[in-house]
């Protein structure tokens, strides 16, 4: 069966989902891995500790892969029997891919924070827990993107196969994905602040609370993006 335009758009959405998020995860893992290599060179016994921090930015790529698989399953591509879906659903899939893909670039910030966490924890293993707390902060942006992606798929009928939305709503879904996706790039700034917060906490443990406040400031912009994305879904009738 030949694929229709809607199905092709869903496939593009799947590509955006895994491709963009993989860029962020790859860079983030590379940044953390560079620090992890230095830690291991100094003390081979710290290999496991360093590997934990390097693994943190990989989750964004996993989110992108998961969403891509869900999109391909919704059209039957994975089963070799593609189903023709409306163009409106295909446009929504583009929004889904943008949401989780762009938000996945927050892994770059997480890699920066994780590199500091690995270095500090190598000097004092008791600081590993605090290092992990700071390192996971930039991942919330990716979770916002994943949340919006799932909402878009659910309300567009991708999970049920019942498609009732119009093309105008599909374009609105792209706007929703852009809002949470671009706002998710604030995770890079948060990672920079979190990385410095880890170092500050290692020097003066009592400043951890204040350092966390500095680190979460960047996340307010991601919340703005999430709020606007949800308002778009409500206003366009997608969540009505």
pLDDT at position 74? 86
Q: Can you say whether residue 160 is alpha, beta or left, with left for phi > 0 and alpha for psi between -120 and 50 degrees?
A: alpha
pLDDT at position 202? 93
What is the residue-averaged pLDDT of the chain?
93
The pLDDT tens digits of the residues spanning 82-113 come to 888 899 999 999 999 999 999 999 999 999 99
> Which pLDDT band, with edges at 50, 70 and 90, does 4 fall under?
confident
> Which pLDDT band, with edges at 50, 70 and 90, does 2 fall under?
low
Taking residues 50-70, report their average pLDDT: 96
> Which pLDDT band, with edges at 50, 70 and 90, does 3 fall under?
confident
The pLDDT tens digits of the residues spanning 157-203 come to 998 888 889 999 999 999 999 999 999 999 999 999 999 999 999 99
The model's pTM is 0.93
- Rounding to the nearest 10 degrees, give the CA dihedral for residues 51, 53, 56, 61: -50
Q: How far lies 193's CA from each of 29, 32, 88, 106, in Å?
A: 18, 15, 40, 13
> Which pLDDT band, with edges at 50, 70 and 90, does 1 fall under?
low
- Structural domains of the chain ordered from first start: 5-235 (1.20.120.610)
**Predicted confidence (pLDDT) at residue 149 exceeds the cutoff of 90:** yes
pLDDT at position 139? 94
pLDDT at position 208? 94
Report how far apart the first and last C-alpha atoms of the chain are (Å, whole number). Answer: 34
- The secondary structure of residue 138, as a DSSP letter, is T
């Amino acid at each position: 069966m030949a694929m229709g335009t809607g199905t092709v758009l869903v496939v593009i959405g799947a590509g955006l989902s895994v491709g963009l998020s993989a860029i962020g995860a790859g860079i983030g893992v590379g940044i953390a891995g560079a620090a992890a290599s230095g830690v291991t060179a100094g003390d081979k016994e710290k290999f496991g500790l360093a590997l934990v921090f390097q693994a943190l930015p990989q989750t964004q790529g996993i989110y992108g892969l998961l969403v891509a698989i869900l999109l391909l399953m919704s059209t039957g591509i994975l089963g070799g029997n593609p189903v023709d879906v409306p163009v409106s659903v295909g446009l929504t899939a583009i929004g889904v891919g943008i949401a989780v893909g762009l938000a996945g670039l927050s892994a770059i910030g997480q890699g920066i924070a994780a590199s500091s966490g690995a270095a500090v924890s190598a000097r004092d293993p008791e600081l590993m827990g605090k290092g992990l707390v700071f390192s996971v902060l930039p991942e919330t942006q990716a979770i916002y993107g994943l949340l919006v992606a799932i909402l878009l798929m659910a309300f567009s009928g991708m999970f049920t196969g019942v498609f009732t939305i119009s093309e105008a709503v599909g374009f609105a879904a792209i706007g929703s994905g852009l809002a949470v996706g671009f706002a998710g790039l604030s995770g890079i700034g948060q990672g920079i602040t979190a990385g410095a917060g880890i170092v500050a906490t290692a020097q003066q443990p009592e400043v951890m609370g204040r350092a966390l406040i500095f680190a979460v400031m960047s996340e307010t912009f991601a919340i703005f993006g999430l709020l606007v994305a949800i308002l778009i879904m409500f206003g366009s009738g997608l969540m009505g």
